[in-house]
Chain A
Amino acid sequence: MLDKNGIAKRIAREVKDGYYVNLGIGIPTLVANFVRDDIQVEFQSENGVLGMGPFPFEGEEDADVINAGKQTITTLAGASFFDSATSFNMIRGQHVDLTILGAMEVAENGDIANWKIPGKMVKGMGGAMDLVASAENIIVAMMHTNKAGKSKLLKRCALPLTGVGCVKKIVTNLAVMEVTPEGFKLLERAPGVTVDQIRSATEGALIAEGEIPEMKL
Chain B
Amino acid sequence: MINKTVKNVGEALQGVEDSMTFMLGGFGLCGIPENAIGELVRLGIKDITCISNNAGVDDFGLGFLLQNHQIKKMISSYVGENDEFERQMLSGELDVELTPQGTLAEKCRAAQGGFPAFYTPAGFGTEVAEGKETREFDGKMYVLEPAYKANFAFVKAWKGDEAGNLIFKGTARNFNPCMCGAATITVAEVEELVPAGTLDPNQIHIPGIFVQRIFQGERYEKRIEQRTVRPKE
Question: A residues touching B (Cβ–Cβ < 8 Å)?
Answer: 45-49, 54-73, 81-85, 87-88, 91-92, 111, 122-130, 133-134, 160-165
Contacts and interface: CB of A to CB of B under 8 A. Distances in A.
B24 interface: no
Contacts, number: 181
Interface string B56-95: 0000000000000000000011111100001001000000
Given A64-B169, A64-B222, A70-B226, A130 B30 contact: no
B189 to A, nearest CB: 15
B101 A88 contact: yes
A130 B100 contact: yes
27 contacts: A47-B27, A49-B170, A49-B171, A56-B228, A63-B224, A64-B31, A64-B169, A65-B170, A69-B226, A70-B27, A70-B30, A70-B226, A72-B228, A83-B173, A84-B104, A85-B177, A88-B102, A88-B106, A91-B102, A125-B78, A125-B98, A129-B122, A130-B100, A130-B122, A133-B120, A161-B126, A163-B126
Given A64-B30, A64-B222, A160-B126, A124 B171 contact: no
A135 to B, nearest CB: 10
B214 interface: no
Contacts of A59: 229
A124 B173 CA distance: 22
A57 B232 contact: yes
A61 B100 contact: no
Contact of B108 (A71, A85, A134): A85
B80 A72 contact: no
B109 interface: yes
A-side interface mostly: loop
A73 B228 contact: yes
A130 to B, nearest CB: 3
B124 A126 contact: no
B200 interface: no
A123 B80 contact: yes
A63 B28 CA distance: 11
B232 A88 contact: no
Interface residues of B, number: 58
A162 B96 CA distance: 18
A134 B122 contact: yes
Contacts of A46: 101-102
Nearest to B124: A133
B169 A83 contact: no
B216 interface: no
B225 A70 contact: yes
A129 to B, nearest CB: 4
Contacts of A126: 77-78, 101
Given A58-B229, A130-B102, 16 more contacts: A49-B170, A49-B171, A62-B170, A63-B30, A64-B169, A64-B172, A67-B171, A73-B228, A83-B178, A84-B174, A88-B105, A123-B78, A127-B102, A129-B103, A130-B101, A133-B123
A62 B124 CA distance: 37
Contacts of B102: 46, 84-85, 87-88, 91-92, 127, 130
Contact of A55 (B124, B169, B229): B229
A162 B127 CA distance: 9
A160 B128 CA distance: 10
Contacts of B105: 83-85, 87-88
A48 B101 CA distance: 12
Nearest to B191: A64
A84 B27 contact: yes
Given A71-B226, A72-B228, A83-B177, A127 B100 contact: yes
